[in-house]
Chains A and B, each alone.
Chain A
């Protein structure tokens, strides 16, 4: 069982939202990917494309490997050392459980821009009762849980900032500033 968490909330008391993933129950249907990508389309639900989903199922049916993985933080560089896990006699690829949007793979990146994707727990207004991937997983491989916890405050970095940061890493901050200046000039002109 793997846990993923996302913190959000006020000063010290926080609602910790977590999704419990039971890989034994996953049937590899990718419904979670479908609904996540549709939810994040704009306008909402107007298009669908699993490649844009913030949850991806690492799937190798013949080896009986099914691992739903949520998109986590953006990683500037790939890890120096990688791990391989063997569980129940099944060998999982290196990076199988990793949530990073990382240069070593095309997972958790917008297919056209290459910008990193991150699960935002379906943040929306009004708040959804449960994240959509959980709602659409009728096999209970994804279970949503909420609990209150005392934790240190942590500023949230929004999507735009993550995106810009990755672009800056990719092309250099100077180049990025140049382009933005040029773009705003041409818009005005």
Chain B
């Protein structure tokens, strides 16, 4: 018997309309765990670099994490993996909510879609019964609207639905997959779902998920719950409220937005408003939130409440979480009420809450600067807020200028030309980033921005404090019960770290220390993504309940696979390297690994070079960021180096043009 996982994937060929239930190889679980890990392996085996995001051979994989469906608190992530139309690299966006455990209870670990359906369809997975059904009546419907209609149509109020809106149907490069409470939105995976002609996947499952050593597993879970209680009662002192507790940043609960509104950039990631937050704004925004917010809500099997139901007068109710609370507000230089209003429409359309507002602000900047003209904006209203709503409508329908903008700022700038690229200034690997512009280089963040392959800073940062406390006493206080560290040396690094002077940024933590810190931070995210754990209880916050010391025990007790810290670290390194291998094969090189030019004002080119050189070596990659044959061999990934040799990957030298494709090849 397989424990924690079901041992079966659903393989669905949309071109032929065939559905297969395929047993998986338990050895793959040992090597790559599950979720992201096994997704990376499948993508490597079956999606060669010649396959574009929108070719029928591209796969769209909905995976549950290895421990989803077990009683492990907060283990509910769906990891969606495909080739991104925007970055042309491997995308592995995730969503919380309720979908992944439901799929497990239906008896499957993954749903793997290939081919393209000629007509819009939806999938109905009800335990052993799996059907491809007509969705023509859902064309153009909102993502959440679709979910409600399907639950009613199927008379299954307990079914969980992952669906796309208009943006996905029209292959907007930053289209999301929505699930009511949560969404998988980075990298344009919703566009791939739309391209495949799939409007929604509806799941209902009523089967058991077994664990190998029940008593031990429950004890571990109870320890986690108790620690969550402890952490909820004992927030970390001396840090911003959103960093003090557990969970995703508590944006729905917290009203004090001084830090975000004065430190993050407004407009097209342009303007810093240092004195923005005052009593008047605070009162207005708090009132808005109180009026709009009906309830704080959680994901499956989690006591935290990171999301909220938002209900504005005259608008349909929707659910929101995290920072999308402010991204539209700040891009439009408007207020919270507007932000919550447009986010409702954006959620139904199904677009990413980071990219979409930035693309719109970018368009208006181009207009103000005469790069785009009146002709491009024919019919656009005068009012600033109305303009954002108008632009959103054009983009998701790919009408007029919206068709260009729907490809994101990088590709739009390329197509528009005329100096537009200077305005697409906040991308990494062609993907819009958080609107942050800071003064002095942070070496830890430098490495994370460069090498993060989820291409989103929140999906690699965490665990290690973002800045040192001013006094040694405070730092001593913090390290006292910091048992989550993988090695005692991290405590010393923090103790010695000063806000000013010799042991301060950017030269302290030293290059080697930065490598260790970033590696630890990244590793925890990768483990979460394979197990299906929410980063909000693990890799993201300070002092989380899940860590490198209890994870191996969870895996052993859950799956019956013998696991220890060393073996887990190696497994995580293995599939992390496989993610990179997929991207290297698609042309990603050192030249792509850089933060936005203007992310920091004060840069240190020599130090930056040393950081990247050293980190690449530390990771077992050559100076161009390619995993070396030796390091691949250590990980049992000789099949990767063989492929690299065959494709001449090792022959490209630093700075040489890679196999990057042009903007036009994606436009069909």
Query: Residues of A with Cβ closer than 8 Å to B?
Result: 27-31, 34-35, 38, 41, 43-52, 60-64, 66, 111, 136-139
- Please tell me which one of the listed residues A66, A111, A138 contacts residue B225 in the complex, with CB atoms under 8 A apart: A138
- For B228, the chain A residues whose CB sits under 8 A away are 138
- Please tell me which one of the listed residues A27, A46, A61, A63 contacts residue B305 in the complex, with CB atoms under 8 A apart: A27
For residue B71, CB closer than 8 A to chain A, the reply is: yes
For residue B214, CB closer than 8 A to chain A, the reply is: yes
**CB distance A64 to B309 under 8 Å?**
yes
**CB distance A30 to B301 under 8 Å?**
yes
**CB distance A47 to B211 under 8 Å?**
yes
For residue B384, CB closer than 8 A to chain A, the reply is: no
**CB distance B301 to A62 under 8 Å?**
no
Q: Per-position contact with A for B193-226: 1 when CB-CB < 8 Å, else 0? A: 0000000000001111111001101100000010
Tell me, in angstroms, the Cα distance from A60 to B157 when the chains sit together. Answer: 8
- Please tell me which one of the listed residues B205, B210, B232, B316 contacts residue A46 in the complex, with CB atoms under 8 A apart: B210
- For A30, the chain B residues whose CB sits under 8 A away are 98, 300-301
Using A35-B71, A48-B211, A49-B105 as known contacts, say yes or no to A29 and B180 having CB atoms under 8 A apart: no
**CB distance A47 to B309 under 8 Å?**
no
**Given contact pairs A30-B300, A52-B208, a sample of 16 additional A-B residue pairs in the complex whose CB atoms are under 8 Å apart:** A27-B297, A31-B301, A31-B303, A44-B214, A44-B215, A46-B210, A46-B211, A47-B208, A48-B71, A48-B211, A49-B208, A49-B209, A62-B144, A62-B318, A64-B295, A139-B305
For residue B317, CB closer than 8 A to chain A, the reply is: yes
**CB distance B206 to A48 under 8 Å?**
no
For residue B73, CB closer than 8 A to chain A, the reply is: yes
**CB distance A138 to B229 under 8 Å?**
yes
Tell me, in angstroms, the Cα distance from A20 to B229 when the chains sit together. Answer: 21
CB closest residue in chain A, given B215 = A45
**CB distance A61 to B309 under 8 Å?**
yes
How many Å from the CB of B125 to the closest CB on chain A? 15
For residue B418, CB closer than 8 A to chain A, the reply is: no
**CB distance B298 to A48 under 8 Å?**
no
Instruction: Tell me which of A29, A44, A137 has the highest count of chain B C-beta atoms within 10 A of its own C-beta.
Output: A29
- For B215, the chain A residues whose CB sits under 8 A away are 44-45
- Please tell me which one of the listed residues A29, A41, A60, A111 contacts residue B302 in the complex, with CB atoms under 8 A apart: A29
- Interchain residue pairs with CB less than 8 A apart (15): A27-B296, A27-B298, A29-B302, A30-B98, A30-B300, A31-B73, A41-B214, A44-B215, A45-B71, A47-B211, A48-B209, A52-B208, A61-B180, A64-B295, A64-B309
- For B318, the chain A residues whose CB sits under 8 A away are 62
**CB distance A48 to B70 under 8 Å?**
yes
Complex A-B, nearest 6 residue pairs according to Cβ-Cβ distance, in ascending order: A45-B214, A138-B303, A51-B206, A111-B206, A47-B208, A29-B298
How many Å from the CB of B533 to the closest CB on chain A? 15
How many Å from the CB of B270 to the closest CB on chain A? 36
- For B405, the chain A residues whose CB sits under 8 A away are none
Tell me, in angstroms, the Cα distance from A46 to B316 when the chains sit together. Answer: 42
For residue B148, CB closer than 8 A to chain A, the reply is: yes
- For B105, the chain A residues whose CB sits under 8 A away are 49-51
Using A30-B300, A48-B69, A60-B157 as known contacts, say yes or no to A43 and B229 having CB atoms under 8 A apart: no
- Please tell me which one of the listed residues B70, B225, B232 contacts residue A136 in the complex, with CB atoms under 8 A apart: B225
Q: Per-position contact with A for B225-247: 1 when CB-CB < 8 Å, else 0? A: 10011001000000000000000
**CB distance A49 to B229 under 8 Å?**
no
- For B303, the chain A residues whose CB sits under 8 A away are 27, 29, 31, 137-139
Query: Residues of B with Cβ closer than 8 Å to A?
Result: 69-71, 73, 98, 105, 144, 148, 157, 180-181, 205-211, 214-215, 217-218, 225, 228-229, 232, 294-303, 305, 309, 311, 316-319
CB closest residue in chain A, given B204 = A51
**CB distance B294 to A45 under 8 Å?**
no
Instruction: Tell me which of A43, A48, A62 has the highest count of chain B C-beta atoms within 10 A of its own C-beta.
Output: A48
CB closest residue in chain B, given A64 = B294
**CB distance B144 to A45 under 8 Å?**
no
**CB distance B301 to A45 under 8 Å?**
no
Tell me, in angstroms, the Cα distance from A138 to B545 when the chains sit together. Answer: 15
Tell me, in angstroms, the Cα distance from A64 to B316 when the chains sit together. Answer: 12
Tell me, in angstroms, the Cα distance from A43 to B144 when the chains sit together. Answer: 40
How many Å from the CB of A22 to the closest CB on chain B? 13
- Please tell me which one of the listed residues A45, A51, A64, A139 contacts residue B217 in the complex, with CB atoms under 8 A apart: A45
How many Å from the CB of A130 to the closest CB on chain B? 13
Tell me, in angstroms, the Cα distance from A49 to B309 when the chains sit together. Answer: 27
**CB distance B300 to A61 under 8 Å?**
no
**CB distance A34 to B319 under 8 Å?**
no
**CB distance B309 to A62 under 8 Å?**
yes
How many Å from the CB of B348 to the closest CB on chain A? 12
CB closest residue in chain A, given B311 = A64
Tell me, in angstroms, the Cα distance from A44 to B218 when the chains sit together. Answer: 10
**CB distance A61 to B229 under 8 Å?**
no
Using A30-B300, A50-B105 as known contacts, say yes or no to A61 and B225 having CB atoms under 8 A apart: no
How many Å from the CB of A60 to the closest CB on chain B? 7
How many Å from the CB of A117 to the closest CB on chain B? 13
**CB distance A45 to B206 under 8 Å?**
no
How many Å from the CB of A11 to the closest CB on chain B? 36
Tell me, in angstroms, the Cα distance from A3 to B297 when the chains sit together. Answer: 23
- For B211, the chain A residues whose CB sits under 8 A away are 45-48
CB closest residue in chain A, given B305 = A27
How many Å from the CB of B556 to the closest CB on chain A? 15
- For B229, the chain A residues whose CB sits under 8 A away are 138
- For A38, the chain B residues whose CB sits under 8 A away are 71, 214, 218
CB closest residue in chain A, given B69 = A48
Tell me, in angstroms, the Cα distance from A187 to B319 when the chains sit together. Answer: 56
- For B305, the chain A residues whose CB sits under 8 A away are 27, 139
- For B181, the chain A residues whose CB sits under 8 A away are 61
- For B214, the chain A residues whose CB sits under 8 A away are 38, 41, 43-46
**CB distance A28 to B298 under 8 Å?**
yes
CB closest residue in chain B, given A109 = B206
Using A31-B73, A138-B225 as known contacts, say yes or no to A47 and B295 having CB atoms under 8 A apart: no
- For B157, the chain A residues whose CB sits under 8 A away are 60
CB closest residue in chain A, given B316 = A62
CB closest residue in chain A, given B157 = A60
How many Å from the CB of B664 to the closest CB on chain A? 42
CB closest residue in chain A, given B302 = A29
**CB distance B300 to A47 under 8 Å?**
no
- For B205, the chain A residues whose CB sits under 8 A away are 51
- For B316, the chain A residues whose CB sits under 8 A away are 62
- For B300, the chain A residues whose CB sits under 8 A away are 29-30
Tell me, in angstroms, the Cα distance from A31 to B298 when the chains sit together. Answer: 10
- For B232, the chain A residues whose CB sits under 8 A away are 138
CB closest residue in chain A, given B156 = A106
**CB distance B210 to A47 under 8 Å?**
yes
- For B301, the chain A residues whose CB sits under 8 A away are 29-31, 34
